[in-house]
Structures are given as structure tokens and as C-alpha cells.
Structure 1
Amino acid sequence: MSRSRVHGSGKAAKVPAGELLDQILGDVLATATMPYEEWHKLWPDPFTAMAIPVGGRRQYQCTQRAIDAAHTLTQQTWDARDDLRQTMTRQAFDRVSFTAIGDAVATCRRHLPPVKSTGPVDDSFFDAMAGDYEYYLEAGSAKIRPDLDRHIPCHLFDANQAVPAFDVGPVAFRPRGDWIARYVLDPTVLGHVQQVESGAVSLETFRNQAFAAGSAPELTQALEVLTFLGGYGWVATLRTVGHELTRSHEKASVIVGLAIDVIGLRFHLENARLLTKAGRQHLFHESRLATTVAGQLLKGSSSQRAGLGAAPGALAAKMRAEQSFLDQAGKVLQAYVDGRNTGKAPHLIERWANALYWFGEARRESSDFMAVVNYGCAADGLSGAGGKAEKMIDFADAALNPKSEPTPAGVVSVKDSVSQVYREGRNKLAHGEESGLFEDLTRTRAIGDNLLTSLLNEVTPEIAEIIANRPQVLTVPEEHAYRALVVRLQSRA
């Protein structure tokens, strides 16, 4: 099967899908009757077949020419599809794309003219194949992108605080017992979990029962739930819509982290660091080993209790008082999640989310050196200053000193805070002008935390108001959007 195509002059930025499928199909047909030994000699890797997969675990043998064309088509499609990049890992997409190519080859006969011909096919045949590729790509990607409730265990508040379940936008935080009652729906599995939770059966005894030969599958499922919960007292849940499994977990982990950092905005640094999620517990537990010159083993450990405690019930009252702010921050976080389902969120929301991430990383960072750099990045990103310190200062002044009141003697001004964190801190450390490792930067770090905590606390409600009442601001160019945001901040005076 062949075709003729007239090419225009000049270098095309993108190879048409039909042209790439022409190359693939021609190679598949040329290789179809090739003896296995001859085909095998063409493989660059003797253990990886040169083949295009087809649904149903079949494959078409081919050569490097077809593989290269399939990679080109896959890369072009990946680059053009924000929605797929947001909801699938690249590895999963590659598998779906190559299978869609194979399925398009497998069904291409239906596009042949009804009357048999030995002549070349025209462009419409390969354009129809391109349409098949798009169809199979959509069907294949939809099949592996279910809607899921993703769960991330975390430490928030001690059980004696009796803090009830609450939401931060799309993230629902539930105490351990509430989560079990809500999501362990099989009554038999639930009964086993509650036996261990109540202490009627020890976890070790239950584990032995679950691993015993011939044990019921409900025992294994209950053990999976208990293993997942570990020693965590809370669970955060985010619904991911139309995401491939690995991507949904990656995204849920980041979004839950942002939601926890939002909660941390309402607590001092040392308390906020105690709010953790799965994957960050290494910050709080460490085993240590050293040996003397004579060979004696010296063992040690470091442990910091995660989760917040106070007088019984005190934090429940505090969280009730903070719910208004959490709702406002949740509105921004929801807009970020919504935007990131298909591409990017609006500029102000993207900058807010990225600044919040930098801020959270700074708080968790063990090194003052990196913490100061992170705080500086957060200040730059949140203000939209593009690395210009004066713009950062103007933004911070609008947020933190809208009345332009003079700074009292002995108090660090907004301008000096930004200068120390960004000019003297982030810039000189990141560019190597100042040595940072093992230097005492605790004062600059403290200023950075106070600056960014204050900025995020002031700016977040204003962005939430824009989302609710002036969404058109999110559609104008970024420079104009920031001008509108600064006016809103200044008008609070």
C-alpha cells in the first residue's frame, strides 16, 4: 500500500499525523512477511521487540523507522494535550498512544475503497487513520483514568483535642475513626478493623490471622486498611476526576500538602511543623549510628512528636474560629485543582499555589540556607514581581501596610523584611555571592517566615473574593490582574 503526497516548501514545525501513520503502516507491511531471525537482527536491544502493540495483547512487528515515527506522533500529541499531561504520567500515556497507533493500523482496511485497487491510496485514507488514532487514544486514556477518592494519612491534632472533621476546599480532613466509618463500607472488613482499633485484638495477632493459610479475603483487606493508617490520627481525602492511578496519587499528595500548609498559616512555625502527612514523617524520626576510632558503636535517635496538642478541647475551638479563613483558602485551592484538571489555573491562582508550596517547603526545611531561598522564591512568586525587589516591596506594602504608616523605631519595616529575605538572602545565597551552608541564618529565616505568613494571610482572602465576585480579573493579562489585586489590598485602608 502506498500513496503520493505533495509537500510544501519550508520546514514544518509539526509532522502531520497522517504522514507519520503512513510511515508506520508502510513499515509494518514491509516487515510482516520478514522471517523472524531476519527481523530479530534489526532489534537494537535483543530483549526488546521492535513492535507496535495492538489491543488484545497482539503486536505488529516493525523496524526502527516505525518506532521513530510512533515516538514522534506520541510526542506531538503529548505536547498538544494539556488535559492529558495533567491527568496521566508520561509513561502511561506512551503505552496508551502506542496501543492506539496499533489499533489504528489494525482497523485501517475499513477505509479502503470498496472496489479493490492496486494503486496508491490518497491522503484521505491516512487522515482517516489519524482520526482512528485520536478515537482509540481517547478511549484508551479514558479507560485508565477513573474518578477516585485519594486518601493521605496525616498528623494534625491529638485525639484529646476532639477537633471535628473539616474541609479546606477540595480536601476533606477526618479524624481516624470518622474516616474508617465513612470509607470502610464492607461490614465484615469494618468489623475486623474496629476490633483492632478498640484493642480487642492486637495488631500483631490480627496480622498472623490474616496471613494464615486459608484466611478469608476480608482479613487481608482489613489488614491493608490498618497498615495504610499506621499510627496516623487523621486522613485527608481528595477526589481526583479522570486521572490515571499514579498521577492521581502524585497530585493528591501535593494538593493535600498545600491544604496542610494552609492550616499551618494559622499557627506559629514550630506548631505548623508538627502538621504532617505521609511521606514527611522522616522529618521527625531519625535513627543515628556512629563508631569511635576504637570501633565502639554509638547509637542514638531523634524524635519529635507530630500532631498538635493543647489543653483538652482548646484546638477544637481554635479551628472553629479559623474556619472562615480555611473556607476562603479552600476556594482558591479548589480553583487551582479545577484549573489543573485540564491545563493551568488562572495566573493569580497559579502564583498563589506555587508560593504556598515554596512557603511550606521553607517551613519544613532543616537547613536555614535552603529555607531562606525558599522564602525568597515564595515572596517573588506571590507578588508577581519577576525578580524585581522594588515590585515585591510595593506589593508587600499594599498587603501589610496599606495606610503607609511609619515603622516604629526598633521594628523591621516591610521594605527591610523584603530586602533581607530576597536581596540579601535568596539572591546572594542562590547566586553564590554568600556562603550559606552551616551559617547562622536563623534571624533571616524568622523574618522570612513572618513575612510570608503575613502576606499569605492577607492576600488569600482577597484572591478568594476575586474568584467569587470579580472573576473577570482572572482573565486579563497578569500585569493588569496584579494591578487590580494591589488596588484591592490598598483599599482595605
Structure 2
Amino acid sequence: MVDLIAEVTRIQAPAALPDKDGDSFSMPGLIATGDGRSITTSREMERLIEAVAQELKRGDPSISQRHTDKEWNWLVRGTFGPALMLIDLDDDAAENTQLLLTSIRSQIDVAASAQDREYAFGCTLFGTFEVAPFSIGPVTFEPRANWLTRKQSEREISGTTARRVQKSWKGTKLRERKQRYDAMQERDVLDAVGKCPYVCSVRTTGLASEAGRLKAQTASHLAMAAVALRWATPSGALAGFRLLTDPGIRHQRSLVFVPGVRMLAGAHLVGMPHGPSISPKDWLTELEARKDDFAVIGQAIEYFLSVSGFTARPKVMNVLVQALLWFYEACREEVDLMAVVKFTATLDALANGGKSGGIRRLVNARLGIPDDKAIRKDGPTLKAAVDEIYSDGRSRTIHGTNDKLGKDWSSTRRLAEQFARLCLIASVDWAVRNPSLDDPSALQK
């Protein structure tokens, strides 16, 4: 801060030149002072301001939970404009430094005060579009008509905008509106929901805008993975569960040239327009039957979104979040071997980092399969199966010693997915039945 004040003093001199950047001169930056004026900055000032931002962050670990680095640096930078207007450069440097810090911290406290936000993303979900709204912790899935009605009742979307959006969703071409706030809001709603039949909403508290958006998207994916667990092949269900912000359905096209044969064309579809179909009644029955499981997963998602990380069982919640995140990423993975690595990471997280031995103990305890028992008729033993997915698939690939990269890993992928799914379901069930335990290693007992 002392160096910063000295730099501010230096660039006030009439003879001060822009910073030299190689063979050219860099343009100075500007920071608003809050009264319609601006302060010119040099590159050294910008460097020192960022250093102050990083030092403030080191003193408060929750900042990394609430802000992205870019957001935090920009927030701190903005406080320097009003703060520098409070000091006299001829006064004592130590007093000026203290005055600056007091002003900066005061502005940050106001700007970073806990704010409730709700992020909404258009999404696909079931092939049935009449499923009633439901929530998994802070994540809510609603048919878009229900979502629009709710936002109108909460007075966050005007009645006129709601009526026009409904008409647009029905295919009616809208007459142009005057360029006012409602017109911009209408356009934003239509862009954010698009043609998606559902809306996924995520509630956050105390998170800055960009950090909140990124965490809300991840929370949505965790909730989608939780829903997909109810199907025998979750990756197949997740192929049709997508936020509008996710990569869309696409054809991977290729040309094949074989000597003496006409050119051939190939295409592979990635993604599905929606997930599996289920009747509203059947899904309601599933929600009721698994309400305790969904409640625990909801608590884990709340833990992930929490600024403080405070929860009744932080260690168990941390394990469940990481396992569910690895599981989601594995289901989305297009390369079979990489999917094996990620499904195995799911198991390793649930096994508290216990490697292959921990995974076997997890399966022993949660699924009741001993090491020497075949996992299916005429199939490998549990020990051999875990060695295949953990040692051959995960470890050797991560360490760069896998000499079977070119083999077909699709069967191993299916095996890893089933183990990961069953162990995730059983581990969540264990958390339901042991609400007072916060020892992830107990999952192996």
C-alpha cells in the first residue's frame, strides 16, 4: 500500500510518461472515483492493486468460496477510486495507508454482503413434459409454464411479459415492443429458456454473480446426476438431461476413404433431445419412495453452494459431492477410457482415497460382495474386476504407464459405471440411516 501511494504520487508529476511496454507505450487505465471522475492508473499501480487484492484474500478463506479471482480483483480495484479521493498525498504515508485500507474494507463489506440470488437455466429432462415441479435441495426443476407462472406471482416478471412469452412458446410471432426494461427482460427470458421444456432454478446465498453462476450450473449437474441414478444406465439418461448452457446435441460426421472403394460417409449422434419418458404419477411415486435419499443429496448440494461450508456432516457431504461430481463427468465423457478413470474416481472418493483395497472394502460393506465371489455368472471375481477398473484402467492411465490404450474399453466402462452407480446409491442410503455419523471411512465397514 505504501508503494502504491508512492506510485500514485509519481504519476501525478507533469513529466510522467506512460509505461514503456517493449518498444511501445501502454495506455493508462482508469478507475472511477464515484463522483463522475476517474483516476488514471499505471501498470505498476494495477500490479500493486492486484497484489493487495490477493493479500486480502489470503486473510479471508471464504473469499475464494464467494468470488472468482477475476471478480474479486475487479471488486477490489473498484474500491480504490473512492478510497484514493479520501487521502492527501502530502500527508503521512502510514496514516494514508490506514485510511485507504479502512475505506477499501468498508466498501468491500457493503459490496460483498450476503445476497440471495436465483439462477435459472433452460433445460431438457424427461421425455414427458407434464411432470410436476420438484426440488433436490436448492435445485428446482419445473416445466417452463409452471416456472413462468411462479415468477409472475413473485412479481419478478410482469404480466404482459409473461403473456407474450407464453405466446412465443406456442409459436406466435410477437409484435416488437418499445425498447424498455420489460422488452429487454422478455428477450432475456426467451434467450435463456429457448425451446427447452423445463427450467432448472438454483438458489444461492452470499455468492458473487459469476461465482454464483458457475456454482449454480455445477449444482444443476449434480441434481441431474442424482435423478439419473434412478435408471439402470445413468449415462443413457444423462444423454438427454442438459442445460441450455451445455453443449447441445450434435452429429459427429466423418469421411472414410478406402482404396478401390467409393468414398464413405459416417455420422454419430452425441446427446439426445430429452431423457427417458416417465409418467408424472410414476415419477411422483419414485420421489416419494426415495425422498430421504434425495434429501441427503440436497444437503450435499447445499454444502457445495455454502460460503461457510457449515453443515451437520461436512466430511460425509464433501465425499458425496465429489463422488457425484466425478460420476456426472464420467457419464458425460465420450472417451471410454477416460470414463473408466472418472467412474473409478467416484469409487475412490467414496472409499475415502483408499485405492483398490478401499474400493473392495467399500463394495464388500455396501453391496455385500466378497473379494473372491464372481460379480456375475461366469464373470470375474470382485478382486479381478476392481483390478481391471482401478489398476489397469485408472492408475496406469493417470501415471502414463497404460500399454493398452488402443484396446476397446467399452465393456470396462459399463462395469465401472454399474459399480459406481450401485455404490453411490448404497452410500447415500448409508448416510440416510446414519444421520449422526461424519466419518466417511465408515462406508467401508
Band the TM-score falls in, shorter-chain normalisation: 0.7 to 0.9
1:169 aligns with 2:137: yes
How far residue 226 of structure 1 moved from its aligned partner, in angstroms, is 2.8
How far residue 136 of structure 1 moved from its aligned partner, in angstroms, is 2.4
SS at match of 2:140: strand
Instruction: Pick the aligned partner of 1:134 from 101, 105, 111.
Output: 105
CA distance in 2 between partners of 1:396 and 1:412 (Å): 15
Instruction: Pick the aligned partner of 1:148 from 102, 117, 129.
Output: 117
Structure 1 residues 177 and 28: CA distance shift in structure 2, 3 A: same
CA distance in 1 between partners of 2:180 and 2:7 (Å): 52
Q: 184-193 or 126-135, which moves further after superposition?
A: 126-135
Cα distance per residue 1:322-366 (max 9 Å; x no partner): 3332122212222332256699x9333222212211111111212
Which one-letter code corresponds to 2:250 in the other structure? H
Structure 1 residues 63 and 186: CA distance shift in structure 2, 3 A: closer
CA distance in 1 between partners of 2:123 and 2:352 (Å): 32
How far residue 74 of structure 1 moved from its aligned partner, in angstroms, is 1.7
1:288 aligns with 2:253: yes
Structure 1 residues 217 and 121: CA distance shift in structure 2, 3 A: closer
Structure 1 residues 465 and 299: CA distance shift in structure 2, 3 A: closer
* Structure 2 counterparts to residues 378-393 of structure 1, below 5 A: 378-385=346-353, 388-393=355-360
How far residue 452 of structure 1 moved from its aligned partner, in angstroms, is 0.8
* Structure 2 counterparts to residues 102-113 of structure 1, below 5 A: 102-109=81-88
1:39 aligns with 2:17: yes
CA distance in 1 between partners of 2:330 and 2:422 (Å): 15
Which is helix-richer, 1 or 2?
1
8 A Cα contact 2:292 2:432, kept in partner: no
Structure 1 residues 327 and 89: CA distance shift in structure 2, 3 A: same
Cα distance per residue 1:230-260 (max 9 Å; x no partner): 2222111111223222222111000110011
Could you say which residue in structure 2 is the equivalent of 1:193?
165
1:363 aligns with 2:341: no
1:238 aligns with 2:238: no
8 A Cα contact 1:42 1:63, kept in partner: no
CA distance in 2 between partners of 1:308 and 1:368 (Å): 22
TM-score, normalised via structure 1 length = 0.76
1:308 aligns with 2:276: yes
Structure 1 residues 296 and 368: CA distance shift in structure 2, 3 A: closer
CA distance in 1 between partners of 2:429 and 2:396 (Å): 32
8 A Cα contact 1:52 1:67, kept in partner: no
How far residue 425 of structure 1 moved from its aligned partner, in angstroms, is 1.1
Structure 1 residues 332 and 342: CA distance shift in structure 2, 3 A: closer
Could you say which residue in structure 1 is the equivalent of 2:8?
28
CA distance in 1 between partners of 2:166 and 2:40 (Å): 54
Structure 1 residues 141 and 459: CA distance shift in structure 2, 3 A: same
Structure 1 residues 49 and 319: CA distance shift in structure 2, 3 A: same
Structure 1 residues 98 and 445: CA distance shift in structure 2, 3 A: same
1:77 aligns with 2:56: yes
CA distance in 2 between partners of 1:24 and 1:216 (Å): 43
1:268 aligns with 2:257: no
CA distance in 2 between partners of 1:67 and 1:357 (Å): 37
Q: How many positions carry a matched residue from both structures? A: 432
How far residue 193 of structure 1 moved from its aligned partner, in angstroms, is 1.9
CA distance in 2 between partners of 1:418 and 1:263 (Å): 26
SS at match of 2:414: helix
CA distance in 2 between partners of 1:75 and 1:255 (Å): 27
1:396 aligns with 2:354: no
Identity %: 19
Q: How well do the aligned residues superpose, as a CA RMSD in angstroms? A: 3.5
CA distance in 2 between partners of 1:464 and 1:107 (Å): 56
1:374 aligns with 2:342: yes
Which one-letter code corresponds to 2:4 in the other structure? I
Structure 1 residues 375 and 147: CA distance shift in structure 2, 3 A: same
SS at match of 2:122: strand
Structure 1 residues 318 and 331: CA distance shift in structure 2, 3 A: same
Structure 1 residues 375 and 107: CA distance shift in structure 2, 3 A: same
Which one-letter code corresponds to 2:418 in the other structure? N
Structure 1 residues 157 and 320: CA distance shift in structure 2, 3 A: farther
CA distance in 1 between partners of 2:142 and 2:200 (Å): 6
SS at match of 1:329: helix
Structure 1 residues without counterparts, runs of 5 or longer: 1-20, 113-117, 474-480
1:97 aligns with 2:63: no
Structure 1 residues 288 and 174: CA distance shift in structure 2, 3 A: same
8 A Cα contact 1:153 1:232, kept in partner: yes
SS at match of 2:164: helix
How far residue 397 of structure 1 moved from its aligned partner, in angstroms, is 1.9
1:350 aligns with 2:292: no
CA distance in 1 between partners of 2:278 and 2:255 (Å): 36
Structure 1 residues 226 and 64: CA distance shift in structure 2, 3 A: closer
CA distance in 2 between partners of 1:54 and 1:216 (Å): 29
Which one-letter code corresponds to 1:188 in the other structure? T
8 A Cα contact 2:165 2:190, kept in partner: yes
SS at match of 1:39: coil
How far residue 437 of structure 1 moved from its aligned partner, in angstroms, is 5.0
8 A Cα contact 1:274 1:306, kept in partner: yes
SS at match of 1:150: strand
1:482 aligns with 2:440: yes
